[in-house]
Amino acid sequence: MTGPTRSTTQPPRYDLGGCTVTLVKGGSLKLDGGAMFGLIPKPLWSRTYPADDQNRIQLACNCLLVEWPGVSDRRLIIETGHGPKYGEKEQRIFAIDPARWLRPALLGLHVDPASITDVVVSHLHFDHAGGLTWERDGRLVPTFPNARVHVQRREFEDARAGFGIMTATYREDSFTPIDEIDAWRLLDGEAEIVSGVRSRPTPGHTRGHHSIVIAGRDRSLVFGGDLMPTRHHLGGPYNMAYDLFPLDNRKSKKELLAWLAARDGLLALDHELETPIVSVRPKDDWFELFPSHGL
């Protein structure tokens, strides 16, 4: 039976059979609770997710390190969190600590960012792609200098064109250093990223949003990005106001949850604080979630 292995110093690590997935903290931030729950009234969502005095809720930026011990020296990172490139005003607005992001978290696990061969981002909003770059010696450089960066072509084109209403969340300071080393790999729909890892388009939050499927010998794990950012977004109507196409997002969410439930798969929740990796089971005409340690 697969499940997490823990120690006093190591984060949760999952053996899927032939590959391992380690949960790595890519930072944290606060966003407006009303925006995070869209049409759901505050008296409902705040029962289990209280807001601060500015109506913000605390969110994690969960990332995954995927490795194939004894099989391949390939190392893959899924998602990069918010990164460190914020002035004092942005730090206050989003409650971001620029010292706490993915690169120092990896170094704390004795993982050299230069050893990462592939990076996948679900989409290119600042709290998902901000960790792609950082400032070193006064110059912006790629965080993972030897890695290909995989993203859907539609997402890449929309980000560079400023498509949608949240254009400020697409930040060129996270993109230009990747341009300079010609590291982008643009995907067209469902595609193999590396052996055992595939892209699954899940449009709705953005047109080019995708989820990432990691298939082990024994089990599969899916990183859902902003398709369902926390466990509190399980319900069908629980979309974010940030979702550009909420009905499409609901459809994508239902299809992915059904796919996972049919396979006893695991789901990694990008912004979830308490139970970032869960299993999915059918319940009546919808689904329920269980913390992974209960498997």
Q: Tell me, what amino acid is at 173?
A: D
Model confidence at 6: pLDDT above 50: no
Tell me the per-residue pLDDT of 131-150, one tens digit each, with 9 for 90 and over: 999 999 999 999 999 999 99
The count of residues in the chain is 295
Q: Which residues, listed in sequence order, are joined to residue 187 by a DSSP beta bridge?
A: 152
Ramachandran class of 57: left when φ > 0, alpha when ψ lies in -120 to 50, beta otherwise = beta
Sorted by sequence, the CB contacts under 8 Å of residue 272 that are 6+ apart come out as 60, 62, 229, 230, 231
Write out the two tokens for 51: 């807001």
Mean pLDDT of 37-60: 97
Rounded Cα–Cα distance for residues 280 and 259 (Å): 9
Per-residue pLDDT of 65-110, as tens digits, reads 999 998 899 999 999 999 999 999 999 999 999 999 999 999 999 9
Residue 288 has a pLDDT of 96
Mean pLDDT of the chain: 94
Burial state string for 147-169 with b = 16 or more CB within 10 A and e = fewer than 16 = bbbbbbebbbebbeeebbeeeeb
* Sheet of strand 220-223: strand arrangement: 191-194, 197-201, 210-215, 220-223, 266-268, 277-283, 286-291
Alpha-carbon distance values, 293 to 68, 222, 245, 260, 279 (Å): 22, 16, 33, 17, 9
SS3 of residue 243 by DSSP: coil
Report field, pTM of the whole predicted structure over 0.75: yes
Is 187:201 a contact under the CB 8 Å cutoff? no
Pick 5 or 118 by higher pLDDT: 118
Measured distance CA(182)–CA(149) in Å, rounded = 9
The pLDDT, as a whole number, for residue 70 is 87
Residue ranges per structural domain of the chain = 4-294
* Cβ–Cβ < 8 Å for 248, 203: yes
- Measured between alpha carbons, how far is 234 from 230 in angstroms, rounded to an integer? 8
What is the per-residue pLDDT for 293?
58
Q: Is the predicted pLDDT of residue 5 greater than 90, yes or no?
A: no
Q: Which tens digits make up the pLDDT trace of 274-292?
A: 999 999 999 999 999 999 8
| Confidence class for position 9, pLDDT limits 50, 70, 90 | low
Instruction: For domain 4-294, give the CATH number.
Output: 3.60.15.10
